[in-house]
Amino acid sequence: MSGTALAPRGVHVSIETSGLVEEIEQYLASLPGPLHPPTPYVCPLGSTLQPWNAGHPLPHRTLLDRLVHRPARPADVTVAGHLRLTSRYLAASGWLQGALWDPRGRVCLLGAQAAVLAHGYGTPYTVRRARAQVMEVLHATGRPVDSPDAYNDRPGTTQADVHLLLDNAAARALVLGI
């Protein structure tokens, strides 16, 4: 019964010969199209505030760590993940120039990387590789400086510039698979 409809004996009706397809196409063409593209739903109550390390596991001490009085093993993060966490930490705590941190809790680029490491995300090796990616982006975009800290403290650099730098370095690290 593929493609045939029930009809009186001796009459063969198929979808191709019945004109049903053309009739459906004409009907669909006569319908009005959407007036405008659908807009995404935005909650009228706003968004919820999330901690800077949301979505990453908290490092926790095992029984052996507690018995030998050592800190928890660092949570495993990629170089790209470390750079994203650094940007999120900067956004949560605030940014400053000319010092690692201040009494209000604001940090510079290096201070944010140190804080992410101190909270147990990654290893010193991860931080060194992340800083190398930041330097690669700085040099590739025509901003030759001696270190990411010199760029952070340079007059005219804004917090948005630092976040963009971290985002570009994270994207580069992601492409490299690190």
pLDDT at 70: 87
Q: Rounded to an integer, what distance in angstroms lies between the CA atom of residue 130 and that of residue 168?
A: 11
Give the global pTM.
0.70
Contact indicator for 76, 93 with CB cutoff of 8 Å = no
Q: Which of 94, 103, 98, 100 is nearest to 113 (CA)?
A: 100
pLDDT at 1: 46
pLDDT at 83: 97
Q: Rounded to an integer, what distance in angstroms lies between the CA atom of residue 121 and that of residue 3?
A: 62
Max intra-chain CA distance, the chain? 94
pLDDT in tens, the chain (178 residues): 455 555 566 656 565 666 777 887 888 788 776 666 666 666 777 777 788 988 888 888 889 988 999 888 889 999 999 999 999 999 999 999 999 999 999 999 999 999 999 999 999 999 999 999 999 999 999 988 999 999 999 999 999 999 999 999 999 999 999 9
